[in-house]
């Protein structure tokens, strides 16, 4: 009897140990699976549908529904100004947008690279709110030798005569954005063209200043670096400064002080000079 009892007890202890081992192994597997699932969840990058072009699109072309498609982009990498809804690009009235800057296949369509619906890719589509277009007459010497392009920034200098015919050159406006060269607003133009006219974006007051400057003298442009942050100011040079001529100030000799007294001689009054006492 004792032998049977001992055998049963031994078997029970063995089964209990096996159960504990199996339970521990099962729990371990479950924890590992949960950890893997959590890692997989973290590895999933949130995405968002973005409208991209299916082929190269160049300046002035009309953007149609056949030129675009929706692709999923990582939400954190969606560029500012990207379109995510086809209805935003193609309104119900059927008006099409025009391309302002060249786009390569699978490049996101941005608000800065297309016009508003129904607009052409002309100068008016490039003007910011409240700004005006003003055209400056240029040549090879005043227009940076033909290296200007729409989108560049320039400083504007005026050369003319002021008091007594003295000629000066003065900076009258800085970091002004070019929106067209001759009659073209194409920023992707690669060939060097000597500009006969340069159209810049300015406010109404600047229009008046530039019109007066162009009517009374010569305007010259100076190209500003693409990453330039410092705004030029207070530049003025005349011919004397150019040649290093220092104007001598004429010092007038002090005038001799003269003192007089008036004396009567009969009915006459005679002015007689006397030594000054102070």
6's tokens: 């001992």
Write down the pTM of the prediction: 0.57
Give the fold, CATH level 3, of 47-113: Type Iii Antifreeze Protein Isoform Hplc 12 (3.90.1210)
For the chain, 278 residues long, give each residue's pLDDT as a single digit of tens.
666 656 666 666 666 666 666 667 777 777 777 777 776 666 677 889 999 999 999 888 889 999 999 999 888 888 999 999 999 999 888 888 988 888 999 999 998 888 888 887 777 777 888 899 999 988 877 777 677 888 888 999 998 888 777 788 888 888 899 888 887 766 656 666 677 888 999 999 999 999 999 998 899 898 888 776 666 666 766 666 656 666 667 677 777 777 777 777 767 777 777 777 76
What are the boundaries of each domain within the chain?
Answer: 1-44, 47-113, 132-243
Neighbours of 254 (CB within 10 A): 6
Residue-wise over 175-196: b if at least 16 C-beta within 10 A, else e? Answer: ebbbbbbeebbbbeeeeeebbe
Neighbours of 77 (CB within 10 A): 12
């Amino acid at each position: 009897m004792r032998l049977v009892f001992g055998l049963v007890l031994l078997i029970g202890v063995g089964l209990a140990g096996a159960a504990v081992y199996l339970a521990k192994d099962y729990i371990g597997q479950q924890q590992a699976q949960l950890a893997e699932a959590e890692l997989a969840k973290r590895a999933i990058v949130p995405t968002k549908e973005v409208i991209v072009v299916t082929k190269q699109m160049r300046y002035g072309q009309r953007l149609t529904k056949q030129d675009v498609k929706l692709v999923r982009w990582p939400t954190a990498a969606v560029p500012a100004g990207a379109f995510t809804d086809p209805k935003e690009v193609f309104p119900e009235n059927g008006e099409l947008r025009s391309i302002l800057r060249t786009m390569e296949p699978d490049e996101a369509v941005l608000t800065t690279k297309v016009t508003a619906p129904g607009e052409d890719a002309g100068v008016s589509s490039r003007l910011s709110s409240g700004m005006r277009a003003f055209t400056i007459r240029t040549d090879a010497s005043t227009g940076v030798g033909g290296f200007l392009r729409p989108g560049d920034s320039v400083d504007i200098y005026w050369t003319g005569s002021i008091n007594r015919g003295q000629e000066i050159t003065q900076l009258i406006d800085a970091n002004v954005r070019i929106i067209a060269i001759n009659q073209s607003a194409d920023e992707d133009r690669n060939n060097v063209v000597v500009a006969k006219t340069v159209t810049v974006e300015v406010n109404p007051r600047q229009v008046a200043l530039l019109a007066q400057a162009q009517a009374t003298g010569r305007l010259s442009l100076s190209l500003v670096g693409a990453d330039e942050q410092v705004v030029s100011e207070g530049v003025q040079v005349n011919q004397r400064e150019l040649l290093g001529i220092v104007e001598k100030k004429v010092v007038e000799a002090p005038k001799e002080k003269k003192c007089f007294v008036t004396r009567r001689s009969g009915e006459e009054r005679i002015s007689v000079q006397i030594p000054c006492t102070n």
